[in-house]
Amino acid sequence: MKGQKTETKVDSALIERLEQKAKAIRADIVKMIHKAGEGHPGGSLSAADIVTALYFHFMRIDPENPDWEDRDRFIMSKGHACPVWYSALTELGFYPRSALDTLRKLGSPFQGHPDMSISPGVDMSAGSLGHGLSIGVGMALMGKLDKRDYTVYVLLGDGELNEGQVWEAAMCAAKYHLDNLVAIVDYNRLQIDGPTDKVMPLDPLGDKWRAFNWRVFEIDGNDMTQVVEAIEAARKRRGLPSVIIANTLKGKGVSYMEGQVDWHGGKVIDDSLLEIALNDIQGGE
């Protein structure tokens, strides 16, 4: 891991438990998108380890009281990857498992982009990219003003870092010393129009965040040990906001999706492809 140093030693039993949970979430993702006939599997799969670590180890939440004022907040700024979020919330008991079969259906709490008005456990709606970090800044600032101890986590896609609003929010977070704010970039290097380095180059990404006065952690975002170590270190409040640049693989865990921009969204997981995907997930390392 590059960037800021971590001091945490991670228990191997914890890592194994989280890795197994991440597999279950990946299986949920492909099954619900298969059932829906559409969706965004690539970025959901790449973020599965991050979302698993947050929801099954770090975040202070209560399925029985989703609006608890002292809960930690999570914003999925790249809202199209919501299947990974819906799976985590379902695995935690916010929803019955039958809800996973309703993805993108009329009246479902699991729409194609998250909707806080109909979905308990969803702290912020998402649609157009680029807004999540600004909203996270507002939530973190509110926590400071109200003297509450919650942490705000914002999951960003790498493609949406093309949006200038992201960097306006980054400046604001540093100005107000929002050390209760943790941004995580799912850096899988593929966006809907192609490779990020062709659409709008981002590197050196870590140096950009450092120049905006953020604490920076650069990790393998599909290595659960590194994910847990980085989140633990980022949660230690030291006067500045933190960003974890999680280098991930688009479609992680499914052989025919890995590193393939076509699986960002729009392709159908038919019955035969579902079987391959589940075999990959259940048998893969």
Question: Which residue segment(s) compose the domain that 162 sits in?
Answer: 2-283
CB 26 within 8 A of CB 253: yes
Per-residue pLDDT of the chain (285 residues; tens, 9 = 90+): 776 655 556 899 999 999 999 999 999 999 999 999 999 999 999 999 999 999 999 999 999 999 999 999 999 999 999 999 999 999 999 999 999 999 999 999 999 999 999 999 999 999 889 999 999 999 999 999 999 999 999 999 999 999 999 999 999 999 999 999 999 999 999 999 999 999 999 999 999 999 999 999 999 999 999 999 999 999 998 899 999 999 999 999 999 999 999 999 989 999 999 999 999 999 855
Mapped onto helix, strand or coil, the DSSP state of residue 194 is strand
For residue 1, give Cα distances in angstroms to 18, 76, 237: 19, 24, 19
Q: pLDDT value at position 139?
A: 98
Structure tokens belonging to residue 147:
């003297």
Radius of gyration of the chain (CA): 18
- What's the N-to-C CA distance of the chain in angstroms? 20
Mapped onto helix, strand or coil, the DSSP state of residue 7 is coil
Question: Residue holding tokens 């299947």?
Answer: 83
Q: What is the CATH number of the domain that holds 42?
A: 3.40.50.970
Cβ contacts of 115 within 8 Å, gap of 6 or more: 109, 122, 125
Burial of 130 (0-12, 13-18, 19+ CB in 10 A): buried
Structure tokens belonging to residue 190:
């593929």
Domain count of the chain?
Answer: 1
Cβ contacts of 230 within 8 Å, gap of 6 or more: 1, 6, 217, 219, 244, 246
CB 279 within 8 A of CB 219: no
57: region left, alpha or beta (phi > 0 left; psi from -120 to 50 alpha): alpha
**Strand order of the sheet with strand 242-247?**
2-3, 215-220, 242-247, 181-187, 152-157, 73-76
The amino acid occupying position 164 is: G
d(CA 75, CA 54): 12
d(CA 81, CA 64): 25
